[in-house]
Amino acid sequence: MTLQDVFVAIVLIGLVLLLGKLIRRKVRLFQRLYMPSSIIGGLIALLLGPQVLGALVQRLRGGAAFAADGVWPEATLEVWSGLPGLLISVVFAGLFLGKTIPRISEIWKQAGPMVAHGQTLAWGQYVVGITLALVVLIPVWDVSPLAGALIEIGFEGGHGTAAGLSETFAELGFGEGSDLALGLATIGVVAGVLFGTLLINWGIWRGHIPRPDAVDEPSPEDLSEHEDREPTPAEHRMSDRAIDPLSIHIGFVGLAIAVGWLLLRALIMMEEALLVPIGWPELMRHIPLFPLAMIGGVLVQILGTRLGYARTIDRRLMNRISGTALDLLIVAALGTLSLEAIGANMGPFLVLAVGGILWNMFGLMVLARVMFPENWMQNGLANFGQGMGMTVIGLLLVRMSDPHGKAGAMEAFGYKQLLFEPVVGGGLFTAASLPLIHQFGPLPVLAGVTALMIGWLVFGIMRFGPSSGPVSE
The predicted structure's pLDDT at residue 221: 46
The predicted structure's pLDDT at residue 142: 95
- Coil, helix or strand at residue 379: helix
- Coil, helix or strand at residue 100: coil
Q: b/e map of 186-203 (b: 16 or more CB within 10 Å)?
A: bbbbbbbbebbbebbeeb
Whole-number Å distance between alpha carbons of 290 and 269: 18
Please, what is the angle between helix 346-362 and helix 376-387, to 10°?
Answer: 160
Whole-number Å distance between alpha carbons of 100 and 108: 15
The C-alpha torsion from 13 through 14 and 20 to 25, rounded to 10°, is 170
The predicted structure's pLDDT at residue 462: 94
Range of the domain at 329: 3-232+318-468
**Residue 288: inside a domain, yes or no?**
no
Whole-number Å distance between alpha carbons of 27 and 32: 9
Residue 73's CB is within 10 A of a number of other CB atoms, namely 14
**Residue 278: inside a domain, yes or no?**
no
**Residue 67: inside a domain, yes or no?**
yes
**Residue 113: inside a domain, yes or no?**
yes
Contacts by residues 448-457 (CB-CB < 8 Å, ≥ 24 positions apart): 449/123, 449/126, 449/127, 449/130, 450/123, 450/127, 452/119, 452/123, 453/120, 453/123, 453/124, 453/126, 453/127, 456/116, 456/119, 456/120, 456/123, 457/116, 457/120, 457/367, 457/371
**Residue 313: inside a domain, yes or no?**
no
How many domains does one find in the chain?
Answer: 1
The predicted structure's pLDDT at residue 84: 85
**Residue 301: inside a domain, yes or no?**
no
Least Cα distance to 221 among 446, 392, 437, 80 occurs for 392
**Residue 86: inside a domain, yes or no?**
yes
Residue 463, burial from CB neighbour count under 10 angstroms (0-12, 13-18, 19+): middle
Q: How far apart are the first and last CA of the chain?
A: 59
Q: Where are the alpha helices (DSSP H) in 363-441?
A: 368-371, 376-387, 391-401, 409-420, 428-440
Whole-number Å distance between alpha carbons of 90 and 224: 18
Q: How many residues does the chain have?
A: 473
The predicted structure's pLDDT at residue 469: 56
Per-residue pLDDT of the chain (473 residues; tens, 9 = 90+): 789 999 999 999 999 999 999 999 999 888 877 677 888 999 999 999 988 888 888 777 665 556 666 899 989 999 998 898 889 899 889 888 988 888 888 888 889 999 999 999 999 999 999 999 999 999 999 999 999 999 999 999 888 899 999 999 999 999 999 999 999 998 998 899 889 989 988 998 888 888 755 444 455 444 444 444 444 444 344 445 667 888 999 999 999 999 999 999 999 999 899 988 888 878 888 888 888 898 999 899 999 988 888 888 998 899 899 889 988 988 988 888 888 889 999 999 999 999 999 999 999 999 999 999 989 999 999 999 999 977 778 877 888 888 777 888 888 888 888 888 889 988 899 999 999 999 999 999 999 999 999 999 999 999 998 876 554 44
* CA angle at 280 for the pair 278 and 284, rounded to the nearest 5°: 130
The predicted structure's pLDDT at residue 228: 42
Least Cα distance to 127 among 143, 148, 96 occurs for 148
- Coil, helix or strand at residue 241: coil
Whole-number Å distance between alpha carbons of 413 and 112: 10
pTM: 0.84
Residue 292, amino acid:
L
> DSSP for 408-427?
-HHHHHHHHHHHHTTTSSSS
